Amino acid sequence: MDFPLHQKAAFMRISDRHLALVVWGLGVTQIVGYGTLYYSFSILAPEMARDFSWSLEWVYGALSAALLAGGLVAPLTGHWIDRQGAAHIMTIGSIAAALSLAACALAPERISFFVALLVLEVASGLVQYNAAFALLVQIAPNRAQRSITHLTLIAGFASTLFWPFTTLLHEHLTWRSVYLAFAVVNILVCLPIHWRLSMLTRQKPTAAAKPLATEAAVEQADVPVPPEMPIRVIGSLAASQRRKAFALMAAGFTLMSFVLSALLVHMVPMLGAVGLGAMAVLVGTVFGPAQVLARFINMIFGAGMSPARLAIVSAAALPLAIAILLATAPWLGGAIVFALLFGAGSGLNSIVQGTLPLTLFGSDGYGALVGRITGIRLVVAAAAPFIFAFVSEQFGVHIALVATCVVGAASVFAFIAVTRLAGSPPVAS
C-alpha cells in the first residue's frame, strides 16, 4: 500500500542518531532563516528608509503588512505541510526565501520592494519554526517534544549571531548587497539540508515501521505531568471545551507574539532610545544566549513541568522584563537583566508554541492546527512593529513600552485559563 507523504513521515522508524542529525540540520536552517529573514531587518531598516525616501515608521508599516500577509497564508501553509510533508514544503520555502531576498535587494522603487517583502514573509512561514516543528512531529511524534526543545536550543543563537553579523556586514556593504548575500546563504546552506530531509521522508514505510502514535501515547511518552495538574489531550473533553481551549491558547500566543514582534524588530534602536547608546547592540546580543540558557535549563530541570504551566512562566517573563527596563533605564545592569528575562521568555515561548498544541490536541492534523494558531497570532502581531514605532514617535518610547507591558500581562491570564480548563473534568456535550 502506498501512503500520502505526511503518513510516510509519521509511520517511518527513525533511530535516535538519525533524529539527532535531523534536529541539528534543522537547527542550522533555523539560525539562517531567522537571522536573514527576520533579525537583520531592524539593522537594515534605516538605510532602506533613506533609499526609498520613506519615514522609518512606513518601512516598519510595510513590514507589518507583510507579516499580516504571512499570517493570512499560515492556515493554508499548515494544510500543505500535512498533505505534502513538512520537508518538501521547507525545500520549496528555501528557494522562495532566496528569491524574495534577491527581489527586495533589486527592487528599484517602493511598490516592487513592498511586493517582494510580502513574498518574503510568506516564504518565512514555509521554512521557520512551524514547519520545522511539524517535520519533527511527522517523523517521530512520540519524541517530538524532546526534539522541539533541542531544536529551539540550537536555533536560539540566531539573534546572537545575526544582529552583530548583519551590523558588521552593513559597515562595508549596502543593505541591498547584504540581502543578496543572505539570498546566496539560503540557497547554499538551507536548500541542500531541506532537500535531503525531503528525500528522507519520502522513504516507503516498512513492515517493522512504528505506527503513528495515538494522542494518549504522545501524551504519556512526551509529557511528564505532575499528578496535581493533569494536562490531558483535549480530545477527551466536550466540543465546547475544545473550542474554548483553542481560543484561549490562540489568544495567549497572539498577545505574546505582539510583544515579541514589537520589541524584537525594534530591539537595538529601542535600547538606544532609552539611553543605552552604543551599548544597545551589546545588550541586544544577550538576548540570544538568554533564549538558549532558558531552553537548556528547561531541558535539564523542567521535565516535571507541563507545557501549559511552562506557557505561564514564558508569558510572565516578558512584562516583567519590560517593567525592569522601564524602572532602571539607562542603567546598563538593568538593561542586561531585561535582555536576560526577555530572552528567557522568548526562548520558552518557542518551545511552548510547538509542544502545547501537541499536548492538548494530539499529533493528528498538527500542521493544520499550528497553521491556524499562527494565522491568528500573526494577523494581530503583524501590526506590532508599526504600532510600536508610531506610539514611540508620537508619545515617546517609554509610553510604548508601558502599553506593550500591559499586552504581555494579558497573555499571562490567557494561559492561566488554559491550564485551569485543561485540568478540569470533561463535561457533557
Domain coverage including residue 337: 5-205+216-422
Measured in degrees and rounded to the nearest 5, phi and psi for residue 12 equal: -75, 135
**Within-domain flag for 429:** no
The verdict on residue 211 lying in a domain is no
Q: How many domains does the chain have?
A: 1
Look at residue 428 and tell me if it is in a domain. no
- Reference 307, options 417, 237, 223, 220; nearest CA is 223
Opening angle at CA 102, ends 99 and 107, nearest 5: 120
* Domain harbouring 9, CATH code: 1.20.1250.20
In degrees and rounded to multiples of 5, residue 178 shows phi and psi of -65, -45
pLDDT band at 316 (very low <50, low <70, confident <90, very high): very high
Q: Which position has the grid cell 499528578?
A: 227
Whether 95 maps to a domain, the answer reads: yes
367 versus 207: the higher-pLDDT residue is 367
Question: What pLDDT shows up at residue 239?
Answer: 65
Alpha helices in 214-331 (DSSP H): 215-222, 239-271, 280-301, 307-328
Average pLDDT rounded to a whole number, residues 62-83: 85
Res 429: pLDDT: 39
The answer as to whether 427 is a domain residue is: no
Q: Assign 187 to helix, strand or coil.
A: helix
For residue 368, what are the contacts with CB-CB under 8 A and spacing of at least 6? 75, 78, 79, 81, 82
pLDDT for position 323: 96
Res 353 pLDDT > 60: yes
What's 26-65 look like in SS3? HHHHHHHHHHHHHHCHHHHHHHHHHHCCCCHHHHHHHHHH
**With 70 as the cut, is the pLDDT of residue 196 above it?**
yes
pLDDT in tens, 20-32: 889 999 999 999 9
Q: Is residue 210 one of the residues assigned to a domain?
A: no
159 touches 30 (CB < 8 A): no
* Predicted structure pTM score: 0.71
212 pLDDT exceeds 50? no
Q: Residue 397 is placed in which grid cell?
A: 518610547
pLDDT, average across residues 378-402? 86
